[in-house]
Amino acid sequence: MNYAQHFNPSSTPQTEQADPRQVKNNAGGFSFQLDVWKRLDRWLILGAEGGTYYASERKLTRDNAKTILECLALDAGRTVETIASVSESGRAPKNDAAIFALALACADKNASSIALHAVPRVCRIGTHLFHFVAAVESMRGWGPALRKAVARWYSERTPDQLCYQLAKYQQRDGWSNRDLLRLSHAKPKPEHAPIYRWATGNELGARSVPGNDKRSRKAREYASVGELPAFLAAFDELKTADQKRTIALIREQGFTHEMIATHHKNSADVWEALLEKMPPTAMIRNLAKMTTVGLIKPLSSVLPSIAERLTDEAALKKARVHPIQMLSALMVYRQGHGEKGSLKWDPVPQIIDALDAGFYSAFGAIEPSGKRLMLAIDVSGSMGNGTIAGVPGLNPRMAAAAMAMVTARTEKQWHVISFGHQLRSLPITPRMRLDDVVTMLSGWDGGRTDCAIPMIAAEHNALDVDCFCVYTDNETWAGNIHPHQALESYRRARVTDARMAVIGITATDFTIAKPDDPGMLDVVGFDTATPNILADFARGGV
């Protein structure tokens, strides 16, 4: 009898444990569990919006909340610094996960003092602060430390910065600046006093407020605080200004589209004035509107400057424009209508091309590895469900292809494959536009998940690969050999020092990378640092 057919330590079905450190993944197969710090990175960058094929948004959020608490228990300082640095660096498509994680840290008695000092680093604009307060209030009360942290958010800004924030971000999530200034007991510096009075709806001149304290009915006296800053005075005028005056005020004060009256937002002239100082993120979000009103159109005078700004690597980095924002804008703009509402437009080809190029520019400069790479994209059924960063229509499969295209455009020696439970051809080239690649994959269903396929196929076809880059959700289960075993087999057969980088596309706890193998690496998909990390790893670094 051939007993070896029933047990082979180098070839184990993925529904069975091949290593005592493996755990059962959401699909029923066995994978390695990420260490707690890598799980924190995945959550902060990918979030849980939209969930996955196997796990709901609620389950992913609850699982990752436990991860944050575990990290806080291990090292509160490191956890808060990780949250703040990921948020500040623009590595994540959205700031929501970092805000939620910071709120959890602020509710932890051992981490709250450290976390509250990080509020200005994570909550850089008014909307972030409103999100944070809404989250943290559901977890803890308004103690002195929280009041001080919120008050400091306002007091540490220059008068010009504060005026801009108060005018642009007036309320969100049921909170307003008036609410937060009052609840935080914020005491203004002399130069902030008229701004605080304006935000809370109080007069700038001297006034007397009757006392309502049971122990004292004595009136409280408030001195005059001087004149209102010109920016806020102009903002008050803007609320009732006609179109001509609105355009003049926009150019004088640098007002944004959020600050102007709604009925002026259908004017191409108004948008042209707004465009002159419009930040990159706002420009990307309003390309459709500017096309609808006729400012952006074929042969338009603004086209060259918009295209240049959409691909300006330095400006995109400074504004923390994430590649996901570019990809989302590209997907929506090219279809000629929004996901919600009735807005429709005729897409302008030059804008589509600029968004495509801007996607790659948003990753920054990438140094090629010079190695032979296999870019293996998981197109199995589970990769077709859920969304990345809440972008409608952008599922993990499409996101994986977009990430692979970044490396393919950088490297000279590469081969792209796709897999589910078997190999599938993927006729894409770096010359293809990104939206065409995404469209190609939109209706695919690659079946069951077997992440060992790339290594098996390379060995079977006698391909020499220095590094396998596997883009997956790590929910592998369908194969008769585990991915790390397939890599070890490939090393014995072809390239002895072959490496495997696993690019995790969803915020699960699993990875197919064996933790103690220096030739295997787990990184986070759509981290802006990932392409350079992959190139360095392929060269033998990391």
**What structural domains does the chain harbor?**
36-207 (no CATH), 239-321+323-361 (no CATH), 367-539 (3.40.50.410)
DSSP 493-542: HT-TT-EEEEEE-S--SEESS-TT-TTEEEEETT-TTHHHHHHHHHHT--
Q: What pLDDT score was predicted for residue 206?
A: 63
Are the C-beta atoms of residues 103 and 118 closer than 8 Å to each other? no
Q: What pLDDT score was predicted for residue 214?
A: 58
- What does the DSSP 8-state code read for residue 34? P
User: SS3 of 221, please?
Assistant: strand
From the CB of residue 8, how many other CB atoms can be counted at a distance below 10 Å? 11
pLDDT tens for 11-46 read: 899 999 999 999 999 999 999 999 999 999 999 998
The β-bridge relationship of strands 373-378 and 467-472 is parallel
Question: Cα 389 to chain center, whole Å?
Answer: 6
Are the C-beta atoms of residues 388 and 399 closer than 8 Å to each other? yes
Are the C-beta atoms of residues 525 and 507 closer than 8 Å to each other? no
How far apart CA 262 and CA 258 sit, in angstroms, is 9
pLDDT tens for 473-486 read: 999 999 999 999 99
Q: What pLDDT score was predicted for residue 439?
A: 79
In terms of pTM, does the model score above 0.85? Answer: yes
How far apart CA 103 and CA 86 sit, in angstroms, is 15
User: SS3 of 358, please?
Assistant: helix
Percent above pLDDT 70 for the chain? 93
Q: How far is CA 139 from CA 100, 211, 522, in A?
A: 11, 33, 32
pLDDT of residue 419 exceeding 90, the answer is yes
Are the C-beta atoms of residues 454 and 419 closer than 8 Å to each other? yes
Higher confidence at residue 390 or residue 161?
161
Mean pLDDT of 436-448: 79
User: SS3 of 364, please?
Assistant: coil
- Residue closest to 179 by CA, chosen among 155, 191, 158, 196: 196
Cite the beta strand spans of 138-264 per DSSP E.
Answer: 171-172, 175-176, 207-209, 220-222
Q: In what helix (H) or strand (E) does residue 415 lie, and over which residues does it extend?
A: strand 414-419
How far apart CA 295 and CA 300 sit, in angstroms, is 7
Q: What pLDDT score was predicted for residue 59?
A: 82
pLDDT of residue 1 exceeding 60, the answer is no
Instruction: Assign 440 a pLDDT band (cuts: 50, 70, 90).
Output: confident
pLDDT tens for 76-120 read: 999 999 999 999 999 999 999 999 999 999 999 999 999 999 999
pLDDT of residue 183 exceeding 60, the answer is yes
pLDDT of residue 447 exceeding 90, the answer is no
Q: What pLDDT score was predicted for residue 5?
A: 44
Q: What pLDDT score was predicted for residue 7?
A: 42
pLDDT of residue 215 exceeding 60, the answer is no
How far apart CA 19 and CA 482 sit, in angstroms, is 10
- What does the DSSP 8-state code read for residue 383? G
Instruction: Assign 221 a pLDDT band (cuts: 50, 70, 90).
Output: low
Round the average pLDDT of the chain to a whole number and report it. Answer: 91
| H helix runs in 286-424, sequence order | 287-292, 303-310, 313-318, 323-335, 349-361, 396-410
Question: Cα 142 to chain center, whole Å?
Answer: 29
Percent above pLDDT 90 for the chain? 77
Q: What pLDDT score was predicted for residue 53?
A: 65
Instruction: Assign 3 a pLDDT band (cuts: 50, 70, 90).
Output: very low
pLDDT tens for 225-254 read: 778 999 999 999 999 999 999 999 999 999
Q: Which two tokens stand for residue 388?
A: 């990345």
How far apart CA 73 and CA 253 sit, in angstroms, is 48
How far apart CA 195 and CA 207 sit, in angstroms, is 16
pLDDT of residue 542 exceeding 70, the answer is no
How far apart CA 398 and CA 124 sit, in angstroms, is 31
Ranked by mean pLDDT, which of 116-130, 417-431, 527-541 comes out on top?
116-130
Are the C-beta atoms of residues 486 and 360 closer than 8 Å to each other? no
Higher confidence at residue 353 or residue 221?
353
Q: What pLDDT score was predicted for residue 51?
A: 67
Q: Which two tokens stand for residue 481?
A: 């050999």
